[in-house]
Structure 1
Amino acid sequence: MKKFAYFLFFLVFIANYSYSQGELEALKYSRNELYGTARSMAMGNAFGALGGDITGVSINPAGIGVYRSSEVMGTMGFQQNRAKVGDINRSVDDFNLHNLGFVGYFPLRNDVMPMINFGFSYNRQKTFNNEINAVGNGASRMIDYIVDRTNGANNGRGIDPNLLLVGEDLPDPFVDQPWLSVLAYNSKLMFPQSGNNNFYDPLNTNNETPLQEIILSERGYIDNYDFTFGTTINNVLNVGMALTISDINHSLYTDFLEDFKSGGYTLNNEIITNGAGVGAKFGVIYRPINSIRLGLAYHTPTWYSMSEIYKASIDDDLGAYVTDPNYKKGRTYSAKFTNHYDLKTPDKWVLSGAAVLGSNFILSVDYELTDYTNMKLSVPSGAYSNKNWYDIDNSYIKEDFKVASTVRVGTEYRFTPQFSGRLGYAWIQNPYNSDFSKAGDSSVSGSNTIYRMEGDTQYFTGGLGYRFNKNFYADFALVYQTQEDQLYPFPNLYAYNGDTRGELVIDASPFTLKNTSVRGLLTLGYRF
């Protein structure tokens, strides 16, 4: 052990509310996947106007008014996520409960409102199970990126090197100064300029181009719990509403390595995030004629209370390049910190239409609209911190994101009264402003600079259903998901003239990341 940052209690307390989140964290917990029962997934999740399925009820709570009996059901699923960068493949397998639900049917013996139904559903809305490995030679070094960020700190006035030292008697540098600057300075990746100590030069590595490597491991989930009630009016208009409770559990471990001919270093980050949130859903389904159903649903934002534990370190072995005779290879690492913040996800609208032709064929379409500029980060109520802390992050959100669309299409054909076949497709648009997506200059928080610019997502789905009798049924679905991202080791940096991007100063040379996922789902249900 070469170096360690010691911190006083009251400074750690301040740090609880001082570590800034960014636009990438907001997006990570706001963008969803397809989820639900095997029947719904086999039909591309296009269930907003159909109802009669617990996932359809989660998309549009008015769907609970379609039920004419009570039901209990559950879905188990196997999932394999695969990430490919160049010739390197990494995969993660997962077997879990994906869906669980109950609907209670309560007849009222009333011609206008013949029943009122109540329901509960659990859905694994998103998983974060990924292993990613990328290796290549970038156009710019991480060292240069860190120096550029450090020299531009404090409105271009740089940073006093005394504030970057770690030690028992100094102020907490992870509160007052950028994490990367502190870690890099104490690992000899940069040095004060001669005659201008507040500015820095990068370590001289004899113009060698380093081999860069990203190792990323991610685990976690977003779970939703819906409590729904609804009814039908004159057997023409279904109405419903739901209270939603959401739960986030997410862990991220990253290593970024730069290896030169005679040495190198590794930047490590560990972040564990938990959150709980609440929201609501409202919906209607209208049947102008018996074979046509039109649906409209509104999902409010989810208001999350978030907490995270994080730490970072750099392992350095740069003796061949460092001129300081007292240099020894070793490790610089932070203490373990806890941070709290609030997150508001964007609201969404879901427009749906379905044709139910006789008792054999169903065609259903959903169109979903989500305005990602409405994401918002904020300081928790009562926190000891500046209430305007996240203003710059929220301004980036407004500038860098856009309104994004999701289209879901599904069909079902009943070959016999017991046996059905299903097909579906879904497309989820990426949420980035086109200029931001091309520029790749995202604002990152803390010392974890690795991030993804996510592409459009496509789902190809299919499945089978079988009714053993009037009560018991089983559904199976197979879901193939594909998405191509740009994986950045750190953001691009530009020379700016006001708000206009100029010359590219730091070229991150992103990797192309190809993500695929295969899911097999089995739903068992009982109606009574």
Structure 2
Amino acid sequence: MKKLFLFIGVLSMSFLNAQDITDALRYSQQNVLGTARFRGMSGAFGALGGDLSSIQINPAGSAVFLNSYGSITLGSTRTINEARYFDGFASESDTNINFNQLGTVLVYDNSHSSSNIKRFSLGLAYEQTADNADEFVSFGRSTNSIDSFFLAEAQGLPLDLITRRTGESVNDLYAFLGETEGFGVQQAFLGHEAFVIDAVDPDDPDNTAYVSNIASGVFDQEYIVESTGLNGKFTINGGAQINDDLYVGVNLNTHFINYDRVTDFFEGNNNAGSNINEVIFTNRLSTNGAGFSAQFGAIAKVSDILRLGASYESPTWYYIEEETVQRLETFSDTDGTAVVNPNIINLFPEYKLRTPETYTGSAALIFGKQGLISLDYSYKDYTSIELSSDNGVNFTGVNSDIDTALQDVAIIRLGTEWRNGNWSIRAGYSYEESPYKDDRILSDKNGYSVGFGYNFGQFKFDFAYDYTDQQRQEQFFPGSGFTNFAVVDTFKDNYTFTLGMNF
């Protein structure tokens, strides 16, 4: 029977659309986590090259290598989330370990001395672009109830539509509504079935007005989020050195998205006249996607001291699939517990996401073998994000929200490295503007880094520590009638270890 329900779920989502601006932005914000040397300088490598992660900023960086090279990187991230929700404060800490990077670049000197092309390079690399592991808890006392979520979806719907027929199961009607009406009507059905809301006239099948069974007053609420997964990309790189002062390169990238998220919302009340005293609403989201992008870049030696770099990264064109599972439970002091648990996996129609393109200009000062200072400036226009579908799903509303709420941003990375014998000491700073016009939704992001490396000759070992902080408003149910949110301060400590080898 379970297989039958899964099959119904696949059919039922053919006209369902629940993606919003949060989803679009989440998959458009990709950052190269990179090698320890790269992170120790906060990623300011656009005019430098000579590092396997640098080719993700400027593909010409592979042509700077003098010999073939490979590296592998392990990273540990500790995330601290401090959530404030009305009078409540909670702090959660989580540590996650991943392979950030694995790759090699093969260098071929041109044996034809008369040619302007002095060297060719071929790079193959895997880079993690996002660690989706996240966890936080928020709790507090509010005067707004979750009933507004279900009421907003139900108003205007005929009672007959969200009421089960004789012999009809919860699974049957939930699947039918997804197929014919969409995600919002499914939410109205959940609320009605679990007695959160009721019809003004329960004896009239044409009734379109609804009231809450939760009395007004104060509500103790808790919202728990746990997400897992990671995003990454695989790169094929080609580069060349032209004469003695120009390097050029190109990347062809394939991307993947793996994101799983579970949210649990709890609400309790002792309000006089309330027929429902507790609500537990659980939502599970699973996202998988694949995409393609390309990059082009060049680095010029203007003088012995100055290098300039320029690069362009195309939009990433993703195909994304999502599925959800929902469960709603209520408790009444007088009537006991009601559980609505549709045994249905909602499979959303595959949709397309176009992320912003990126332009980067870079400059570096090279002080012989003693050290260097490097600066990158990148530009991205988040209003260019676009969702579309080959399955007839209309994303006009979401795309309009993107144009209204988002903006173009500047990203600045500054790094330095100084050498003493076989040792290298590094430091860096990064700044990224908020993609939202209202930076209270998501603040600017600041990052700081330090690191060191030791060159053993054939082998190299590098270590980096970097720290970032950012604040966001975490809306519990974006785009719904229940507008409550927590303010979350996120602090990340990253420890990165890279082992490299010349060959």
The TM-score with structure 2 as length reference comes to 0.90
Equivalent residue for 1:270, pick from 284, 289, 305? 284
Does 2:143 correspond to 1:130?
A: no
Residue 407 (structure 2) pairs with residue 402 (structure 1) = yes
SS at match of 2:117: coil
Distance 1:142 1:54, change over 3 A: same
Structure-1 separation of matches of 2:371 and 2:7: 66
Q: Tell me, yes or no, if structure 1 residue 424 matches structure 2 residue 433.
A: no
Name 1:487's counterpart in structure 2: 474
SS at match of 1:13: helix
CA distance in structure 2 between the partners assigned to 1:139 and 1:509 by the alignment: 10
**1-side partners of 2:280 and 2:214: how far apart?**
17
The amino acid of 1:286's aligned partner reads A
Which position in structure 2 is the counterpart of 1:496? none
Q: CA deviation at 1:131?
A: 1.1
| Amino acid in the other structure paired with 2:502 | R
In the alignment, is the contact (CA less than 8 A) between 2:32 and 2:53 conserved in 1? no
Superposition misfits of 4+ residues, deviation over 6 angstroms: none
Larger deviation: 170-179 or 71-80?
Answer: 170-179
C-alpha separation in 2, matches of 1:99 and 1:173: 45
1:215 lines up with 2:224 in the alignment = yes
Q: State the match for 2:370 in structure 1.
A: 360
Partner SS state of residue 61, structure 2: helix
* Partner of residue 331 from structure 1, selected from 315, 329, 339: 339
Partners of 2:259 and 2:372 in 1: CA distance: 38
1:511 aligns with 2:492: no
Shift in CA distance, 412/9, structure 1 to aligned 2, threshold 3 Å: closer
- Please tell me whether the aligned partners of residues 426 and 460 of structure 1 are also in contact (alpha carbons under 8 angstroms): yes
The answer for the alignment partner of 2:273 in structure 1 is none
- Is structure 2 residue 246 aligned with structure 1 residue 237? yes
1:17, 1:341 within 8 Å by CA — same for their partners in 2?
A: no
| Residues 340-388 of structure 1 deviation map (CA, whole Å, 9 limit, x = unaligned) | 22211111111111111121121111111111111111224xx4xx25x
Q: How does 1:108-127 map to 2 (within 5 A)?
A: 108-109=110-111, 110=113, 111-127=115-131
Matches within 5 A, 1:70-469: 70-86=68-84, 87-109=89-111, 110=113, 111-151=115-155, 158-166=156-164, 167-168=168-169, 172-175=176-179, 176-177=181-182, 178=184, 179-194=186-201, 197-205=207-215, 207-261=216-270, 263-320=277-334, 329-334=337-342, 335-339=344-348, 340-380=350-390, 383=391, 386=392, 389-414=394-419, 416-434=420-438, 453-469=441-457
How far apart, CA to CA, are the structure 2 residues paired with 1:61 and 1:9?
45
Q: Which amino acid aligns with 2:139?
A: V
Alpha-carbon contact 2:15-2:178 (below 8 Å) kept:
no
CA distance in 1 between partners of 2:341 and 2:474 (Å): 25
Q: What per-residue deviation string (whole Å, max 9, x for no partner) do you get for residues 51-109 of structure 1?
A: 01111111100111111100011111111111112442212211221111100001113
SS at match of 1:29: helix
Is contact 2:79-2:93 (8 Å) kept? yes
Structure 2 CA distance for partners of 1:21 and 1:116, relative to 1, 3 Å: same
* Matches of 1:24 and 1:211, distance apart in 2: 26
Quickly say closer, same or farther: Cα 1:492–1:139, change in 2 above 3 A. farther
Q: How far 1:204 moved relative to its partner?
A: 3.7
- 2:77/2:494 contact within 8 Å kept: yes
Query: What is the letter of the counterpart of residue 294 of structure 1?
Result: L
Does structure 1 conserve the Cα–Cα contact (< 8 Å) formed by 2:33 and 2:130?
A: yes
The number of equivalent residue pairs is 476
Question: In structure 1, how many angstroms separate the alpha carbons of the residues matched to 2:152 and 2:321?
Answer: 30
Percent identity reads 27
Q: Describe the SS at the equivalent of 1:18.
A: coil
Deviation at 1:271, TM superposition (A): 1.0
Cα 1:16/1:328, change in 2 over 3 Å: farther
Q: Distance in 2 between matches of 1:100 and 1:393?
A: 36
Q: 2:147–2:214: 8 Å Cα contact kept in structure 1?
A: no
Distance 1:16 1:475 in 2: 50
User: RMSD of the alignment, in Å?
Assistant: 2.2
Could you tell me whether the CA contact under 8 Å between 2:253 and 2:293 is conserved in 1? yes
Go from structure 1 to structure 2 and tell me whether the alpha carbon gap of 1:96 and 1:329 turns closer, same or farther (over 3 Å shift).
same
- AA aligned to 1:304 is Y
Conserved 8 A contact 2:285-2:323: yes
User: Contact 1:82/1:90 (CA < 8 Å) preserved in 2?
Assistant: yes
Report the Cα offset of residue 270 of structure 1.
0.6
Deviation, 1:7, is 6.5
- Tell me whether 1:521 sits opposite 2:496 in the alignment: yes
